[in-house]
């Protein structure tokens, strides 16, 4: 299994739960690293059900949002499922304004996401 610097990966049955180590995801290098770590989950490790838990995240840059959109495309290309959870209201507002709430399935908390995926 790969080592992860930007994310923490846990397994709950068939579901991979990813939490972010950084509270602010704004630095370009960090975004590239977490993006590659996420891509590896579906491309190298063949994970099929993934929940991204944003509980630790206080701020996301637009570049980080772009990386998440790219990750969603990779997930779909590999026939996997993606769900987001624990998004703070101020970040959720950005998802709503940018219409990303239509792209991503978002649950209030990890338990709801685990029940739905």
CATH number for the domain that contains residue 24: 3.30.750.24
| Number of folded domains that form the chain | 1
Q: Is residue 36 part of a domain?
A: yes
What pLDDT score was predicted for residue 4?
81
Strands annotated E in 13-117 = 15-20, 24-25, 49-53, 59-60, 81-85, 106-107
Q: Is residue 28 part of a domain?
A: yes
Mean pLDDT, contiguous 10-residue spans, the chain (117 residues): 82 96 92 94 96 96 95 97 97 95 97 96
| Domain hosting residue 53, numbered range | 7-116
Q: Is residue 109 part of a domain?
A: yes
Strands annotated E in the chain = 7-12, 15-20, 24-25, 49-53, 59-60, 81-85, 106-107
pTM: 0.94
What pLDDT score was predicted for residue 2?
60
What pLDDT score was predicted for residue 88?
96
User: What are the residues facing 49 on neighbouring strands?
Assistant: 81
């Amino acid at each position: 299994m790969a080592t992860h610097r930007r994310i923490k990966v846990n397994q709950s049955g068939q579901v991979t739960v990813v939490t972010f180590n950084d509270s602010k995801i704004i630095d370009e290098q960090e975004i590239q690293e977490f993006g590659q770590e996420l891509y590896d989950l579906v491309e190298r490790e063949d994970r099929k059900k993934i929940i991204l838990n944003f509980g630790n995240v206080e701020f996301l840059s637009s570049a980080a949002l772009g990386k998440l959109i790219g990750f969603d495309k990779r997930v779909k290309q590999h026939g996997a499922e993606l769900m987001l959870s624990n998004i703070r209201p101020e970040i959720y507002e950005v998802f709503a304004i940018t219409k990303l709430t239509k792209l991503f399935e978002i649950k209030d908390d990890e338990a709801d996401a685990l029940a739905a995926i």
